[in-house]
Amino acid sequence: MNPSAEPLPPVRRVVIAGGGTAGWMTAALLGKLLGKRLALQLVESDEIGTVGVGEATIPSMRLFHELLGLDEAEFMAATQAVFKLGIRFDGWKRPGEQYFHGFGTTGRDHWSAGFQHFWLKGMARGLAQPYGAYSPETTAALQNRFAHLPDGALNYAYHLDATRYARYLRGLAEGWGVQRIEGKIAAVHRGGEGGPITALQLENGARIEGDLFVDCTGFRALLLGETLGVGYEDWSHWLPCDRAVAVQTRSVREASPYVDVTAHPFGWQWRIPLQHRVGNGLVYSSREMSDADAPEVLARHVEGELLAAPRVLRFRPGRREKAWVGNCVAIGLSSGFLEPLESTSIYLIQRAAIRLAQMFPAGGVRPVDADEFNRQMGADVEHVRDFIILHYHVTQRDDSALWRNARAMAVPETLRRRIQLFAETGRVFRPLDELFAENSWVQVMMGQGLTPAAHHPAADLMGDAELGQFLARLQQQVAQQVARLPAHQGYVERLCAPHRPPG
């Protein structure tokens, strides 16, 4: 430390460029934590639409809501949310076959080995039920049941209306001191050649000055990309889909507590039920299907009346080389985008917003903070990237060039090691702070068709009779627990009823 160095200018004014989910999640968190100490402004235009199709989440969102002190029933009523216990995959291993990626744990681990080792031996000896039968989340989801249980015995997330969610967060953020400014950004000003961002110039002539700027301008990345010139790392050689077409439909059946994702020769399809409608979409490769054909194909594969015209979104899988440069931090699509599979986009927004709050440079922007933020976010994104690539690479589908190329491609070394370790030993080692737990990797790898060649010797300490009793007891406990749960739809309606407006 150099005691003679000039003090850094403090950060007292934060300007968030762009609203949507990323902008208002960041604004709400900073407002809740620092709204009494900072001038917080968010610039957005009603004339600029948001992507607004990120409707499925993962359990980490509950932590974010705890930090904000949200009332769950109020949030769910405001966003027409339902619960989510996992994802049902159809046709990812091969056409016509399904598996389920449930949240929470499956079975009971031993200190020396995960439950999958005991299950693998049980399957080989004809003593085991399907893997999901030992998961409360999977069993409850497929029976359309849900309730809050003591000690968090069911691990869950939400399906929500992303547009309503941004509006809900806006109301909270404004209550915590965030000022919303309506207007389109016409120019971004910097302090000299290569200097920090100093202000946003709006089309109406207003000049919004700040000390720290958060880029939530979506794929355009107006601040970090266009203004600061931060490059983009393209991952399309690993992630083949570069388009999505989305549409909302009227509900024709009760909302299930899981997302349906169905593989097709050109990519895959999602179905996300909410209280008031269903979100649908196709994620596809432009090499396999044209943008002109995609809306018609989607319309043929959905249930219920279309509530709007399908929208085509173009994206390039990858990330910005850095998310924090100088006094600009990119959060959300402006920092990069992988694809919707496994519902990680809102999670990455949440992680970035929490990190920014934890590392907030009140005493001045320091390169050491930016470097550490970029290192941590980089590790998060690469972990998510590898997990998504796994779904494409480990498959037995060969009905299109997309799937044949995905099977044959060289994957990142980090993923190659995970696959090899599991294939040979049945083991998964999860570094600290990674999003997807061991059970997620196990469910997806086995669901996609990767069966380990061996199990841990700890499983051999049980004879057939003892192992059979152990597995039967676990499965019976899950079945009994789930049988006591109410229907998911009715539970949501009762929970949200007190928070609905009259009439």
Q: Which residues are catalytic?
A: 84
* Residue 104 backbone class (left: φ over 0; alpha: ψ -120 to 50; beta: rest): left
Q: Which residue has the tokens 């449930």?
A: 102
Is 321:221 a contact under the CB 8 Å cutoff?
no
Rounded Cα distance, 256 and 131, in Å: 21
Which amino acid is residue 91, in one-letter code? G
Three-class SS of residue 108? coil
| Position 342, amino acid | E
Q: What is the DSSP letter of 172?
A: H
Scan for tokens 């409850």, then name that residue. 140
Rounded distance between C-alpha atoms, residue 95 and residue 102, angstroms: 21
Picking from 139, 142, 138, 137, the residue whose alpha carbon sits closest to that of residue 153 is: 137
Q: Give the end-to-end CA distance of the chain in Å, rounded to a whole number.
A: 64
Residue 136 β-bridge partners? none
| Euclidean distance between CA atoms 350 and 339, whole angstroms | 16
Structural contact between residues 202 and 186, judged by C-beta atoms closer than 8 angstroms? yes
Kind and range of the H or E run holding 375: helix 367-393
CA pair distance 26, 43, nearest whole angstrom: 13
Which residues lie closer than 8 Å to 152 by C-beta, 6 or more apart? none
**Which whole-number Å values give the CA distances from 93 to 230, 297, 302, 388, 460, in the listed order?**
38, 22, 22, 14, 29
Structure tokens at 277: 């409608």
Strand-pair category, 324-325 with 328-330: antiparallel
All residues at 6 or more sequence positions from 420 whose CB lies less than 8 Å from its CB, including other chains: none
Q: 213 and 228 in contact (C-beta within 8 Å)?
A: no
